[in-house]
């Protein structure tokens, strides 16, 4: 055992050693090694092999990748796997384009080329993804100097439009509590809703309230209006529902002092409530969500290439640089990404720091989630049209690739729909989308898919679980497909929609409007499956092709079934989500006695408390609660809302000062979110597959039952209406 540990660490060191050889500093060396690699790769992907040769080659490659996967070779191991994956995938594509596109009929050619294009898209995104995530930078925070005289001035901007004061209040109070010299920190609320209540609140707590004449360009315009009125050296931007911790600036500002060309530091968006996928699929904190892949890995990968994104919130920008590119970009609906691109073009550096220093509410319902993703996808398509990162000046090739991939990623709608319907071409229409034998398709396609999946699983680790991401993408594919296509045709098509948060889902219901396309797709695939079975029974001599298509259609049915279930909104009655945390606290009873407790959770207006010994406190009793942080203590008046072993306390009539103290003791704690970050289990592809399979299969029948019932009810309601009219 000991030997194994030793040898494994030696291997890891050896791997890292190879990556850090001084050799890589010489252009001649890197260029000739690259050239040699490309030639070798071309030979590998283009050498024609017989079926059995290809099969042996595939098994060997798969086997080697399987072994490397388990070896602790660190980043070097990942790069080796990427090379094998590229070999198999490019070999597949070479074969696909040279040996399987000799289509017979016009229908075959149309559907066949459609599939080929979707596959090319997937391959490009795969390769760009490898570039992006092969070597995450994993930047550490730089500490600020102890002498505060040279600390820069920072303006914190919090734009809002129609969100509740309850939500915004927390963010303002938290921003006011950020640890930074008081004379160098100003908090601005930018209210496009122009609400008197908000103005009064800001006045009361010491934040500056700004409005403007109109709401042009939404959030970007709102920020720009403020930028013209402030003069701090840096601006920190928070969405009005992203609550910063007190350490936010001390952790994120250090790099600016170290790197004078740095224009932005982005930190993760962390959510303390489940998004609709996590809520409706019941995977919260078990399966990583989409954001975790982006902030856990993609941004860190981008950072290596100096292509970290500005994500609109939880970030600090250097005001001077920002003004040099004309403030926040207004040409597209994803102003944040576009602003980052502009800063990159001007030669500024962008950084990403993977320490969650703020947290917020995730979108509550699928419909709101969809609206948000549509905006992102549209915006990315717009940038691709109006300021294409592949063109224009000022970017390195790697920045171009990273930005391009970020945009291409959102074009997955159509290709995904193609993959979800491709086997139907054969099963329902008899179209041959591969002009090759079934066994050849398997010999080329299977190693391509298998090695790519394995490699991605190794890279993504605990930030993404295989197959679940297929479910996420599938559920959104239909909705982003149209807006993206429209924006690509004309960037002006479509309008901005702000996503509001903080709602209650009273009753469990299925959002049929959203599920409809997937029910339709599901029905189509089920029909295809039945048609395939019938064909199989009346064997016409193409068993191989049939089996491939049946397997494919089965997989599609499961993924669509799981995706459609996201539309089943589970009940969510608590409007203020709770954060689990054990903090020291004490109950002070009206008779002057005290009981030491630990909190079980906190929210913006309440606490869950676990007392040291069981006590009976009647519901409705007025008590005081102390919450401690180091030497600090906040004492707040509350009402007992739940008695027994775990006591619930509701804070209803807190003064502004007490609200500030509650916020400081709870949401502002520097260590709140760090521990919950990237804590999902490491990906195990087979386990993920089993999870998705189980989920898809077990929910298929209820889904179809609910669907048919609701369709029946809808038809009956309509016929009743018609009768009544008559």
Partner 1 sequence: MKIISVVSAKGGVGKTTISANLCVALRRQGSTVIALDLDPQNSLRLHFGVAPSHHAGVALSLLRGSNWAKEIVQGGAGCAVLPFGHVSESERINFESALTKDPLLLSQQLSSLGLPEDTIVIIDTPPGPSAYLKQALSVANIAIVVTLADAASYATIPMIDNLIEQYCLTRTDFIDYLYVINQLNRARQLSSDVADIMALQFSNKYISIIHQDQSIPEALACNQDALAYAPESQGAHDLIDFAMLINTILNDGYRAPKNEKLS
> Which residues make up the interface to partner 1 (CB under 8 A)?
179, 247, 250, 586, 588, 591-596, 611-613, 615, 624, 626, 629-631, 633-635, 637, 670
Q: Whole-number minimum distance, CB 328 to partner 1, in Å?
A: 32
Q: 51 in helix, strand or coil?
A: helix
Residues β-bridged to residue 156: 187, 236
> Between 25 and 591, whose beta carbon lies closer to partner 1?
591
The yes-or-no answer on residue 710 being catalytic is: no
Q: Which residues of 656-677 are buried (b: 16+ CB within 10 A; e: fewer)?
A: eebbbbbbbbbbbbbebbeebe
Is residue 356 within 8 Å of 677, Cβ to Cβ? yes
Q: Which residues contact 620 (CB under 8 A, 6 or more apart)?
A: 639, 640
**Separation between Cα atoms, residue 412 and residue 635, nearest integer Å:** 52
**Separation between Cα atoms, residue 63 and residue 52, nearest integer Å:** 16
Q: Whole-number minimum distance, CB 76 to partner 1, in Å?
A: 38
Q: Whole-number minimum distance, CB 587 to partner 1, in Å?
A: 9
> Between 637 and 685, whose beta carbon lies closer to partner 1?
637
Q: Whole-number minimum distance, CB 644 to partner 1, in Å?
A: 15
Residue 287 is classified by DSSP as: S
Q: Whole-number minimum distance, CB 114 to partner 1, in Å?
A: 58
The H-or-E segment that residue 269 falls in is none
Q: Which of 616, 636, 640, 618 is nearest to 626 (CA)?
A: 636
Phi/psi region, residue 502 (left: phi>0; alpha: psi -120 to 50; beta: rest), is left
Q: Which residues contact 234 (CB under 8 A, 6 or more apart)?
A: 152, 153, 154, 155, 253, 256, 316, 317, 318, 319
Q: Whole-number minimum distance, CB 167 to partner 1, in Å?
A: 27
**Separation between Cα atoms, residue 674 and residue 245, nearest integer Å:** 11
Is residue 510 within 8 Å of 569, Cβ to Cβ? yes
Own/partner pairs for 138-142, CB < 8 Å, 24+ apart?
A: 138/300, 138/354, 139/255, 139/300, 139/303, 139/351, 139/352, 139/353, 139/354, 141/251, 141/252, 141/254, 141/255, 141/353, 141/355, 142/254, 142/255, 142/257, 142/258
Let me know if 2 is exposed, middle or buried by CB neighbors in 10 A (0-12, 13-18, 19+).
Answer: exposed
> Between 633 and 710, whose beta carbon lies closer to partner 1?
633
Is residue 624 within 8 Å of 591, Cβ to Cβ? no
**Separation between Cα atoms, residue 422 and residue 75, nearest integer Å:** 36
DSSP 483-534: HHHHHHH-TT-S----------B-S-EE-HHHHHHHHHHHHHHHHHHHHHHH
Is residue 515 within 8 Å of 567, Cβ to Cβ? yes
**Separation between Cα atoms, residue 424 and residue 111, nearest integer Å:** 10
Q: Whole-number minimum distance, CB 390 to partner 1, in Å?
A: 45
Is residue 251 within 8 Å of 357, Cβ to Cβ? yes
Q: Whole-number minimum distance, CB 647 to partner 1, in Å?
A: 13
Catalytic one of 108, 192, 275, 303: 192
> Between 218 and 250, whose beta carbon lies closer to partner 1?
250
Q: Whole-number minimum distance, CB 246 to partner 1, in Å?
A: 8
What token pair was written down for 189? 């609320």
**Separation between Cα atoms, residue 637 and residue 651, nearest integer Å:** 7
Q: Whole-number minimum distance, CB 567 to partner 1, in Å?
A: 44
> Between 68 and 581, whose beta carbon lies closer to partner 1?
581
> Between 442 and 662, whose beta carbon lies closer to partner 1?
662
DSSP 293-323: HIIIIIHHHHHHTT-PPP-SSSEEEEHHHHH
Q: Whole-number minimum distance, CB 608 to partner 1, in Å?
A: 18
What token pair was written down for 58? 């595939």
> Between 236 and 668, whose beta carbon lies closer to partner 1?
668
The yes-or-no answer on residue 241 being catalytic is: no
Q: Whole-number minimum distance, CB 181 to partner 1, in Å?
A: 14
Q: 358 in helix, strand or coil?
A: strand
Q: Whole-number minimum distance, CB 153 to partner 1, in Å?
A: 21
Is residue 52 within 8 Å of 78, Cβ to Cβ? no
Catalytic one of 336, 387, 601, 683: 336
**Separation between Cα atoms, residue 485 and residue 501, nearest integer Å:** 27
Q: 140 in helix, strand or coil?
A: coil
Query: Which backbone phi and psi does 136 adopt, to 5 degrees?
Result: -60, 140
The 3-class SS string of 194-254 reads: CCHHHHHHHHHHCCEEECCCCCCCHHHHHHHHHHCCCCCCEEEECCCCEEECCCHHHHHCH
Residues labelled as active-site residues: 192, 336
């Amino acid at each position: 055992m000991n030997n194994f540990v030793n040898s494994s660490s030696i291997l890891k060191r050896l791997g890292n050693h190879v990556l850090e050889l001084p050799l890589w500093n010489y252009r001649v060396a890197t260029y000739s090694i690259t050239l040699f690699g490309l030639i070798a790769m071309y030979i590998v992907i283009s050498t024609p092999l017989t079926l059995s040769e290809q099969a042996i080659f595939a098994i060997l490659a798969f086997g080697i990748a399987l072994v490397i996967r388990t070896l602790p070779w660190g980043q070097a191991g990942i790069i080796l796997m990427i090379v094998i994956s590229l070999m198999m995938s490019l070999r597949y594509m070479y074969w696909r384009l040279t040996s399987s596109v000799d289509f017979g009929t016009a229908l075959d050619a149309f559907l066949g080329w459609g599939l080929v294009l979707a596959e090319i898209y997937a391959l490009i995104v795969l390769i760009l993804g490898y570039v992006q995530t092969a070597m995450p930078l994993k930047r550490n925070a730089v500490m600020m100097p102890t002498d505060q005289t040279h600390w820069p001035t920072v303006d914190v901007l919090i734009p809002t439009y129609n969100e509740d004061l309850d939500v915004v209040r927390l963010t303002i109070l938290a921003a006011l509590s950020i640890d930074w010299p008081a004379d160098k920190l100003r908090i601005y609320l930018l209210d496009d809703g122009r609400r008197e209540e908000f103005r009064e609140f800001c006045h009361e707590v010491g934040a500056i309230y700004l409005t403007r004449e109109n709401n042009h360009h939404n959030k970007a315009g709102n920020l720009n209006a403020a930028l013209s009125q402030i003069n701090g050296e840096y601006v920190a931007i928070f969405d009005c529902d992203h609550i910063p911790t007190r350490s936010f600036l001390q952790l994120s500002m250090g790099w600016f002092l170290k790197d004078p060309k740095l224009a932005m530091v982005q930190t993760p968006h962390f959510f303390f409530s489940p998004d609709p996928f996590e809520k409706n699929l019941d995977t919260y904190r078990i399966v990583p969500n989409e954001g975790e892949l982006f902030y856990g890995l993609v941004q860190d990968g981008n950072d290596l290439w100096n292509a970290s994104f500005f994500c609109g919130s939880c970030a600090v920008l250097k005001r001077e640089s920002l003004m040099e590119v004309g403030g926040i970009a207004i040409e597209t609906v994803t102003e944040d990404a576009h602003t980052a691109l502009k800063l990159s073009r001007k030669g500024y550096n962008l950084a990403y720091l993977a320490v969650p220093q703020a947290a917020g509410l995730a979108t509550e319902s699928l419909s709101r989630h969809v609206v948000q993703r549509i905006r992102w996808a549209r915006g990315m398509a717009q940038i691709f049209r109006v300021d294409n990162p592949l063109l224009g000046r000022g970017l390195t090739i790697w920045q171009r690739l990273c930005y391009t991939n970020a945009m291409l990623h959102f074009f997955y709608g159509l290709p995904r729909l193609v993959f979800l319907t491709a086997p139907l071409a054969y099963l329902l229409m008899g179209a041959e989308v591969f002009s090759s034998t079934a066994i050849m398709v398997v010999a080329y396609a299977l190693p391509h898919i298998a090695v790519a999946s394995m490699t991605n699983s190794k890279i993504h680790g605990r930030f993404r679980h295989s197959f679940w991401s297929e479910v996420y993408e599938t559920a959104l594919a239909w909705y982003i497909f149209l807006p993206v296509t429209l924006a690509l045709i004309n960037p002006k098509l479509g309008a901005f929609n702000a996503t509001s948060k903080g709602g209650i889902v009273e009753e469990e219901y299925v959002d049929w409007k959203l599920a409809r396309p997937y029910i339709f797709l599901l029905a189509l695939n089920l029909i295809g499956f039945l048609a395939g079975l019938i064909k199989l029974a009346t064997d016409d001599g193409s068993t191989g092709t049939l089996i491939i298509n049946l397997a494919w259609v089965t997989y599609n049915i499961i993924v669509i079934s799981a995706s459609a279930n996201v539309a089943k909104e589970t009940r969510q009655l608590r409007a203020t989500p709770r954060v689990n945390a054990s903090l020291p606290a004490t109950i002070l009873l009206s008779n002057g006695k005290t009981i030491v407790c630990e909190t079980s959770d906190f929210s913006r207006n309440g606490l869950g408390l676990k007392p040291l010994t069981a006590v009976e406190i009647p519901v409705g009793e007025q008590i005081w609660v102390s919450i401690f942080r180091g030497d600090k203590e906040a004492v707040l008046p509350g009402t007992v809302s739940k008695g027994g072993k775990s006591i619930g306390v509701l804070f209803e009539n807190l003064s502004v000062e007490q609200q500030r103290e509650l916020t400081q003791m709870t949401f502002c704690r520097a260590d709140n979110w760090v521990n919950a970050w990237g804590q999902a289990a490491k990906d195990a592809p087979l386990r993920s597959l089993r999870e998705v399979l189980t989920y898809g299969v077990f929910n298929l029948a209820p889904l179809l039952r609910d669907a048919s019932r609701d369709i029946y009810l809808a038809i009956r309601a309509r016929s009743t209406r018609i009768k009544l009219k008559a």
